Amino acid sequence: MRARSGIPDVNPQGVETLLTHAGRTPDDQHGFVNTPVYRGSTVLFKSLAALESQQQQYLYGRAGNPTTRQVEEIVTALEGAYDTQLVPSGLAAITVALLSCLNSGDDVLITDSAYEPTRTFGTQFLSRMGISARYFDPHLAGGIEAQLQSNTRAIFVESPGSATFEIQDLPAIAAVARPRGIKVLIDNTWATPLYFNALRLGADIVIHTATKMFVGHSDAFGGTISTNGESWEAVKKTRSLLGFFTSGDEAFLIARGLRTLAIRMAEHQKRALELAGWIETLPGVRRVLHPALPSHPDHHLFKRDFSGSGSLFGVLLEPAPRDSLAAMLDGLTLFGMGYSWGGYESLCIPTKPARIRTAVPWTEDGTLLRLHVGFEAMDDLKADFAAGLNRYRAGR
């Protein structure tokens, strides 16, 4: 299949070349290297015949413009997808993708390790629409067959989970779903298409919170939905019906980030692995949740299906009172406390999966931290974390 962007799925060029050149048409932009920010609602037609035929590329601003289209073309090429839809946020990408597969009376299975807003959408919105959202053990693999119902229409995977970092066996899940006509959706934000080719491994729809790694600078929101040919029209129609639109300003910042994605991901990977391996050796650390480490229980799946790893991982500390956690986090000078991740700055926040897990209750005793490793000097990050850990242990 040939990607709708006009770039073949199997591209002889390296990914760095693709990221540098895909989606850019300087000849159409008076020679300017970057596609400029297009702002506009009204698009003019040259004749009544043109208006009636609805054949020109852009009909109305809500449907996109050259700035948004360049992002879709880049991501389509990266994923080897049929096409990609750009939406205003990662959560919008999740909701549009799920609604494109589901109708009232249907059932969807969602991994128990999913991003909390994904779960909230399932329990608080889909249920209102007469759609049952059930949660499954992230380690079921082909055993997910036993969880299927006659009305199951979709399976939602997040691999690894962005709080507890379980890897799911996507090929095994897809092998169960595809013969039954069940759509497999995956949130691939952690590894990006650079390190995990979800469509090739059996997914029908791939979702990215572009706000994270694609943007890379903590200054814009976006989400992408890339599909195979069979899933495209439903996604396109659902986005149009819901009226989701990404502004040219946001799209410009996403495109800017994508141009350096390969270089940034390589550095994030190297630095996160170094820090994770070092933290594993520290007193008071029960375990580090990073799929690329040999100590991770799903490391064999990571080695089989992934070509690299992301910037995000978990650290489970020995139990301590809240005051100890506050002493640790409030005193950090380089690791900031904030939601999201993927930017140049390092982050550290506590997470509490026990309050949301249902299929497989989280019973680990201790404090779970989620770290995103940015671009500060590694010795400085180690010193900041070590000092924080000392404060944490002193209060136990």
Catalytic residue among 62, 237, 303, 352: 62
Q: Rounded CA gap, 150 and 140, in Å?
A: 19
Q: Rounded CA gap, 340 and 344, in Å?
A: 12
The encoded tokens of residue 194 equal: 């650079």
Q: Rounded CA gap, 301 and 166, in Å?
A: 10
Crossing angle between the packed helical segments 66-79 and 248-259, to the nearest 10 degrees: 40
62 is catalytic: yes
Q: Rounded CA gap, 182 and 123, in Å?
A: 20
Q: Which helix H or strand E contains 86, and what residues bound it?
A: strand 83-87
Q: Rounded CA gap, 49 and 56, in Å?
A: 11
Picking from 205, 140, 203, the residue whose alpha carbon sits closest to that of residue 177 is: 203
Cis, peptide link before residue 160, omega less than 30° from 0: yes
Dihedral (CA of 186, 140, 103, 126) sign: negative
Catalytic residue among 69, 119, 153, 212: 212
Q: Rounded CA gap, 192 and 250, in Å?
A: 19
187 is catalytic: yes
Catalytic residue among 107, 112, 187, 204: 187
The residue type at 227: T
212 is catalytic: yes
Catalytic residue among 38, 82, 115, 392: 115
By annotation, the residues acting in catalysis are 62, 115, 187, 212
